[in-house]
Amino acid sequence: MNSPLLEIKQISVSFDGFLALNDLNLVMNEGDLRAVIGPNGAGKTTFLDVITGKVVPTKGDVMFKDKSLIGQKEYRIARKGIGRKFQSPRIFKNLSVQENLALSVSRPKTPFSLLINSLKVKQLDKIQHLMSIVNLQSKSNIKAGALSHGQKQWLEIAMLVGQDPDLLLVDEPVAGLTDEETDLTADLLKSLAGDHTILVIDHDMEFIRRLDCPVSVLHQGHILKEGSMSQIEKDPLVIEIYLGQSEEEV
Amino acid sequence: MSIISTKKNWINLTIWVVIIALIIATPTFLPVFRLNLLGRYLSLAIVALGVDLIWGFTGMLSLGQGIFFALGGYCAAMFLQLNSSEGFPNGIPEFFGLYGIEKLPFFWEPFKNSIFTLISIWLLPAIIAGLLGYLVFRNRIKGVYFSILTQAALLVFFNFFNGQQKLINGTNGLKTDVTELFGQMVGSEIMQRGFFWLTAILVIFAWLFSRWIVRDRFGDILIGIRDDEPRVRFTGYNPVVFKTIIFSIAGGLAGISGALYTVQSGIVSPQFMTVPFSIEMVIWVAVGGRGTLLGAILGAVFINYAKSLVSEALPASWMFIQGGLFIFVVTALPEGVLGWIRRGGLKELLYLIGINKKLKTYPSLEVNEQGEVKS
């Protein structure tokens, strides 16, 4: 029996006494695709901050490939194989699509190597491949800042994949996208699962339904419920705190 | 394709031949006074290149480059003073006698060696910049706080150097124009001509070096740090290392610049570390075009030349003109003059005054074409 890829053990994060995360446990095995949903302020983004080293938890431990990540610098965690996509697209807007991806596929990520080595054929092929996955080949020399919002989201996902991470953390990848783009993004993530382990955070129900994967509901800093989307949707507690609200709004 | 690139090569070659011919010929048609001024301003272009690397590319506004500039100048001046102090009491530089010092302070000793001096001119400022930078960047100090910190460091150095009469002649500084090098007075015409050529060549090398640094992915990371530092971190790069390296390089360039400026202006003093001077360096880059290396060079040379011409004609007005120029560039041409031209600003202007017609194109079509060629 393989040990899990990511194991989050009783994490608590307190901001000046306010518990953003409270005794959170989560286990992800290799190849898993999992969605985490929750109302605003449930602690979704803080949860990613803890895994990627941006926030140090008050209590608990994060194990990745059987090693603790607590206290490690962000760039080290990234090199260990955890890639993160932010809520609003974060790409290097003054670099072209190709240059953005070149930075993500470069190895090793040291100043000397960047100065002396040029990109290998394999890496150039990889850049082309990544651009074809997200449909940006025709924009390869365009500055990333000039892309549309959806294309920026995709470029950022492509940059993540270019890092060759074992674990992808994807924060609200469809915020501000059209329905068509949302569907394409869902398909893209599904096609990446298997080779990669992916954790998606969102509150777009249509999108989560389309991902068709196990869902964890985050509420007030801990996991309220886990199960498939159809199970979650029927759970009275979940309906009360989350789905109920959104149905009222609709 | 090959025709275009050979044509481009020919143009490049021609430009270089013209530049080198100009450098060789300038001393023959420019009076010594003007030549000396041009040489000084060219040496300032080197410090401007450093400012451009750290501010234009990496987005760190340092207001303390005067520290490294002055350090380079002091290294050169200490060597020159030692080199020509045989006739003075105790065989040490003359000013020590004024304060009753009979023994050379220990840190002067290594500067008797010319090779040590040539290395320390750039290495010493680079090491100090690296140390200072590392401490600042490691603690994630950036933006305005970084600028204030560098300016504070500048003031610390300024006051320290001002107060140390017995070590480095304090506020009077170290004179170099009456010292000797290769049996010639440093201030003499023949030496000044040599320094002009040396400066011009070093400007070219500094430019080539800076271009090599920013040309590829290393430069892309610098731009990435400017645009979105957390993204750089989450992509697996350690920004602290990159920032320290580039700050150290800028410090080294400032040192070379300061040494060249010192031998051509005849003195190094704590005046090199005043606040306005370090801010002026930023203005040269801002006006020339931040993020364009050529812009930094042209900005430094042209603004300084304009400064001396304007000051000769209307002594009191330069500060107003400089301030006005800075405000104009920041509001109207935020990318500087060269950045503006590269974005097609000239065509735009010609169109506005009705000389040129605007071309109608479909950018997306052009792009698709490029994409096809590329893939």
Answer yes or no: is A202 within a domain. Answer: yes
- Asked if residue A199 lies in contact with residue A168, where contact means CB atoms within 8 angstroms, the answer is yes
CB contact under 8 A, B235 and A103: yes
Mean pLDDT on B199-213: 94
Please name the amino acid found at residue A164.
D
Complex ipTM over 0.90: no
Q: Are residues B9 and B106 in the same domain?
A: no
Quote the Cα angle for B312-B282-B54, to 5°. 150
Give the count of domains, chain A: 1
Q: Which residue of B has its CA nearest to A132?
A: B375
| Better pLDDT: A233 or A75 | A75
Spatial separation of the C-alpha atoms in residues B128 and B266, rounded to whole Å: 25
- Asked if residue B17 lies in contact with residue B173, where contact means CB atoms within 8 angstroms, the answer is no
Answer yes or no: is A149 within a domain. Answer: yes
Q: Does B87 touch chain A (CB under 8 A)?
A: no
Q: Are residues B242 and B176 in the same domain?
A: yes
Answer yes or no: is A48 within a domain. Answer: yes
Answer yes or no: is A205 within a domain. Answer: yes
pLDDT above 70: percentage of residues in chain A: 96
pLDDT reported for residue B258: 95
Q: Does A164 touch chain B (CB under 8 A)?
A: no
| Better pLDDT: B122 or A195 | B122
Q: What is the DSSP string of A25-61?
A: EEEE-TT-EEEEE--TTSSHHHHHHHHHTSS--SEEE
pLDDT above 90: percentage of residues in chain B: 43
Average pLDDT of every residue of chain B: 86
Q: Does B236 touch chain A (CB under 8 A)?
A: yes
Q: Are residues B262 and B290 in the same domain?
A: yes
Q: Are residues B44 and B67 in the same domain?
A: yes
Answer yes or no: is B351 within a domain. Answer: no
CA torsion, points A163, A165, A170, A171, in degrees to nearest 10? -70
Tell how far CA B16 is from the center of its chain.
Answer: 21
Answer yes or no: is A224 within a domain. Answer: yes
Which one of A103, A132, A153 makes the best mutation probe of the B interface by having the most chain B beta carbons within 10 Å? A103
pLDDT reported for residue A202: 84
Answer yes or no: is B370 within a domain. Answer: no
Residues of A in contact with B220 (CB under 8 A): 92, 95, 99, 102-103
CB contact under 8 A, A90 and B230: yes
CB contact under 8 A, A140 and B375: yes
Give the count of domains, chain B: 2
Q: Are residues B141 and B212 in the same domain?
A: yes
- Last residue in a domain, options B293, B313, B333: B313
| Beta-bridge partner residues of A62 | A8
CA separation (Å) from B208 to A28, B49, B204, B219?
A: 50, 11, 6, 14
CA separation (Å) from A5 to A36, A92, A199, B326?
A: 17, 30, 12, 56
Average pLDDT of every residue of chain A: 84
Q: How far is A148 from chain B (nearest CA, A)?
A: 13
Domain of A175? 6-249
Mean pLDDT on A221-248: 74
Helix axis angle for B217-227 and B239-265, nearest 10°, is: 100
pLDDT reported for residue B223: 93
Q: Are residues B17 and B158 in the same domain?
A: no
Q: Is the pLDDT of residue B150 over 90?
A: yes
Q: Does B362 touch chain A (CB under 8 A)?
A: no
Q: Is the dihedral of CA B74, B80, B85, B91 positive or negative?
A: positive
Q: Are residues B14 and B93 in the same domain?
A: no
pLDDT, tens digit (0-9, with 9 covering 90-100), for A98-124: 899 999 888 888 888 888 888 888 888
pLDDT reported for residue A242: 67
Backbone angles phi, psi at A239, to 5 degrees: -60, -40
Answer yes or no: is B357 within a domain. Answer: no
Closest CA to B208 of B46, B13, B9: B46
The full length of chain A comes to 250
Q: Does A234 touch chain B (CB under 8 A)?
A: no
Q: Are residues B101 and B191 in the same domain?
A: yes
Spatial separation of the C-alpha atoms in residues A220 and A150, rounded to whole Å: 30
pLDDT reported for residue A250: 39
Most distant CA pair in chain A, distance: 60
CB contact under 8 A, B230 and A142: no
pTM of the model: 0.86
Spatial separation of the C-alpha atoms in residues B295 and B53, rounded to whole Å: 12
CB contact under 8 A, B228 and A74: no
Spatial separation of the C-alpha atoms in residues A235 and A232, rounded to whole Å: 5
Answer yes or no: is A37 within a domain. Answer: yes
CB contact under 8 A, B220 and A92: yes
Answer yes or no: is B100 within a domain. Answer: yes
CB contact under 8 A, B235 and A118: no
- Asked if residue A132 lies in contact with residue A80, where contact means CB atoms within 8 angstroms, the answer is no
- Give the number of C-alpha atoms closer than 13 A to the C-alpha of residue B228, restricted to the C-beta side: 17
Spatial separation of the C-alpha atoms in residues B65 and A118, rounded to whole Å: 32
pLDDT reported for residue B20: 86
Most distant CA pair in chain B, distance: 79
Answer yes or no: is B327 within a domain. Answer: no
Q: Are residues B99 and B238 in the same domain?
A: yes
CB contact under 8 A, B233 and A118: no
pLDDT reported for residue B89: 76
Spatial separation of the C-alpha atoms in residues B57 and B298, rounded to whole Å: 17
Q: Is the pLDDT of residue B356 over 70?
A: no
Q: Are residues B39 and B144 in the same domain?
A: yes
Answer yes or no: is A203 within a domain. Answer: yes
Residue A66 burial (CB count, 10 A):
9
Answer yes or no: is A188 within a domain. Answer: yes
Helix axis angle for B32-51 and B189-215, nearest 10°, is: 20
Q: Are residues B97 and B7 in the same domain?
A: no
CATH code for the domain in which residue A116 is found: 3.40.50.300
Q: Are residues B133 and B13 in the same domain?
A: no
Domain of B294? 34-313
- Asked if residue B150 lies in contact with residue B60, where contact means CB atoms within 8 angstroms, the answer is no
Q: Is the dihedral of CA A177, A181, A183, A185 positive or negative?
A: negative
